[in-house]
Amino acid sequence: MRLDYHVLDVFTEKRFSGNPLAVVHGADALDAKTMQTIAREFNLPETVFLLEPQNKAHTARVRIFTPAAELPFAGHPTVGTAVLLAELRTPLSNGRGEALVVMEQQIGIVRVGVRLRAGAPSFAEFDTPKAPESIGVVPSTERLAAALGLIPAEIGFENHKPTRYSAGNPFLFVPVASLDAIGKAGVASAHWNAATQGNIGMFLYCRQTVHTTSSFHARMFAPHNGIPEDPATGSAAAAFAGVVHRFDDLPDGQHKRLIEQGYEMGRPSLLTLSLEVAGGALGTVRIGGHAVHVANGTLQV
């Protein structure tokens, strides 16, 4: 069996930066074990498998795999797959186009708006399929610091404290005092399991940034999912909306935050987080970013 595939870089406007993604077409005949094997072979943070939608009004059904596990939802596969499908199926008029891509993911229906411009990277933005929610107990600062190779004094800034949130995938959110401290962080294997049990990984963030236009600098480690470090994590950014709303006392209205990630890996990425606050409550949350083609080919299964 031969299946076409594409590789894209996501949350970037430049090739060979951002978060790489493989998308395999026509995967209906593959079982989960084979999909996992193929994802391990690509060895990218995530691989998407496209299947016929159960509802013909939708664009596609997708399954998402890291090199080690299947995920019910993920951000950079959502953005990258939507851009790819829109570019393949949407004709441009006067060099411009708009598309709505509706994907059936394990978490549910995910709708993605795509903006197409001739000669420029496409931009996609999706509404999070679940609202961010605080979930469960957070390990002590000492345990988190040990797992990251930091000292406890480097955990936290302003009123931000470690939290645990999910918008489909659970993450530990760890505020770090400075850009210097977050650059030193890493996975301390001897302490990692005790600190991260039951979570996809740890999302570290600080207020200091490389670029003045960014709102937060971030890193994300998920070694047990086959991702030692992720260049850009859309599902974590979706849940991070809950963290921002909780600690930054946002007034009612629309808010936009730019998150830079991947710089320590040499794969700079930029994620757009948009959130709405009404009556003091967090409402609609959207994640957006650009994606660019890198490669395409045929996979022999």
Residues catalogued as catalytic: 46
Q: At residue 162, what is the residue type? A: P
- Cα(149)–Cα(274) distance, integer angstroms: 32
* Residue of 287, 282, 254 whose CA lies nearest to 272: 287
Q: What Cα–Cα distance (Å) separates residue 160 from each residue in 174, 244, 278, 289?
A: 9, 9, 22, 26
- Cα(76)–Cα(84) distance, integer angstroms: 12
Q: What is the largest CA-CA distance in the chain?
A: 58
- Cα(301)–Cα(290) distance, integer angstroms: 30
Q: At residue 123, what is the residue type? A: F
Q: What Cα–Cα distance (Å) separates residue 18 from each residue in 76, 96, 135, 229?
A: 9, 24, 29, 12
* Residue of 9, 167, 171 whose CA lies nearest to 79: 9
Q: What Cα–Cα distance (Å) separates residue 208 from each residue in 55, 58, 215, 241, 298?
A: 45, 41, 8, 18, 43
